[in-house]
Structure 1
Amino acid sequence: MTIYLTSDLHLGHQNIIRFCDRPFDGVGHMNARLAELWNETVAEQDTVWVLGDVALGALDDSLAWINRLAGHKILVPGNHDRCWQGDRALHKGSPQTRAARRERARARYTAAGFAEIHDDPARFPVAGVAATVSHFPFWGDSHGEDRYVEYRPEDDGGWVLHGHVHDTWRQRGRQVNVGVDAWGGRPVAAERIAALVENGPGDLEPLPWAD
């Protein structure tokens, strides 16, 4: 069994093609190619940690792709996921209303194919250290500013495995971006990330998209 990490698929999101210069002529092409690259990489017995921003657009149509993806899938929600703890819609109404809305949102993602959802940044063993996993890096953003500061993990001097920054970097210091825009559209094996951690802090540009 192999463990993989990925993030920021943005299934169903037309604007991400232009924003990140993805090599697709439309959402249908992008969704199908992302699924193809995933299933070429991941086997059914593997586990994939998805660090947020899974699907946008017509959400039911976009989330339908999740069940087509191989492996045991674990979601750490990002700011574009409807089940993200910071989603404004989950903070309206009475406590009972908010709790019910939150459970419905989570159920939508588990029904789509996620076996687990982890709201808070967790620890992930890699190269003998316990790295933080989160949708957000310690610092930095794809928009040139630090948004969502209150939801970012604390920089404790360790490593963070994250998404959110798209094609801004693959590695920046002790921050490793596992997003599809940094790894040629594919999930990245934990062993590859471990090699980066073993080499120490550095700066790496995104890999080109797979042909």
Structure 2
Amino acid sequence: MYRFPQKIRHFFYKTFIGNRIIKFENPIKVINGDRVWFISDMHFGHRNIINWCRPEFKNIKIMHQRLISNWNYHIGHYDRVFCLGDFGDFRYFKKLNGKITLAKGNHDNKQWNKQFIIQYRDMKFLAIHDPDSRDTRWFDGDWIIHGHTHINSPFVDIYRKRINVSVEVINYTPISMEEIYTIIQESKNYGDNRQSL
């Protein structure tokens, strides 16, 4: 079977698919919230993470299988995924579906962007790895989507307006922009924070 050269495939993706999901402007504009996803702190290849906060896994191989199968079950080939740091071993990148945009975490060696400003519907979000870093003080938008804290902060912090997408609090499964938006709208009915998804 004939395969189109990469430039032609990229042109068709950008023209007919990519611009219907997301527009890389300033801020990034999410058009289809069901096809834009968030996740953080996979820690591929980091054995110590199991002892620290993932005791449900017997070994790293089982952890990798669950992370990859959950990811690929939900993420389509052309979906956009914002991975908010601590990806881990980059060899696992090729095993995952979707167009992945990486933010730099404290365990990452690559020089990726540290943060993204994202507009979805009537809300503006800051997507960043560490929500307590100095990089968030300037943000005057609505909510912060972050990782880094693992199980040490709730999934939804209604008081500080933060969504924690560390894998341990979102059941090791990416969460869509639309689902985050819906949860935030429903958060007005919460009496307190939500610890996990």
Fold in common (TM above 0.5): yes
Give distance in 2, aligned partners of 1:163 and 1:22: 19
Q: Is the 8 A contact 1:76 1:135 kept in 2?
A: yes
Which amino acid in structure 1 is aligned with residue 128 of structure 2?
A: S
Q: Report the Cα offset of residue 19 of structure 1.
A: 1.2
Give distance in 1, aligned partners of 2:73 and 2:170: 14
Q: Of residues 52, 76, 79 in structure 1, which corresponds to 2:106? A: 79
Secondary structure at 1:31 match in 2: helix
Count of residues in Structure 1 that have an aligned counterpart in Structure 2: 158
Query: Is 1:135 matched up with 2:119?
Result: no
Q: Is the 8 A contact 2:123 2:141 kept in 1?
A: no
Offset from partner CA, 1:156-197 (integer Å, 9 cap, x none): 362100001112210112000112111100000111100122
Secondary structure at 2:166 match in 1: coil
Q: Is the 8 A contact 1:136 1:153 kept in 2?
A: no
Which amino acid in structure 2 is aligned with residue 185 of structure 1?
A: Y
Query: Is 1:23 matched up with 2:56?
Result: yes
Q: Is the 8 A contact 2:39 2:83 kept in 1?
A: yes
Q: Report the Cα offset of residue 24 of structure 1.
A: 1.0
Give distance in 1, aligned partners of 2:85 and 2:135: 13
Unmatched 5+ stretches in structure 2: 1-20, 22-34
Q: Is the 8 A contact 1:127 1:198 kept in 2?
A: no
Moved over 6 A (4+): none
Report the identity percentage. 27
Give distance in 2, aligned partners of 1:15 and 1:22: 11
* 2:15 alignment counterpart: none
Q: Of residues 159, 166, 181 in structure 2, which corresponds to 1:179? A: 166
Give distance in 1, aligned partners of 2:42 and 2:151: 12
Taking the TM superposition and a 5 Å limit, the aligned residue runs for 1:185-196 are 185-196=172-183
* 1:45 alignment counterpart: 78
Q: Please report the TM-score for the alignment, with normalisation by the length of structure 1.
A: 0.69
Q: Report the Cα offset of residue 41 of structure 1.
A: 1.0
Q: Report the Cα offset of residue 30 of structure 1.
A: 1.0
- The Cα RMSD (Å) is 1.9
Q: Of residues 127, 132, 147 in structure 2, which corresponds to 1:163? A: 147
Taking the TM superposition and a 5 Å limit, the aligned residue runs for 1:52-91 are 52-55=85-88, 62-83=89-110
Q: Report the Cα offset of residue 126 of structure 1.
A: 3.1
Q: Is the 8 A contact 1:171 1:205 kept in 2?
A: yes
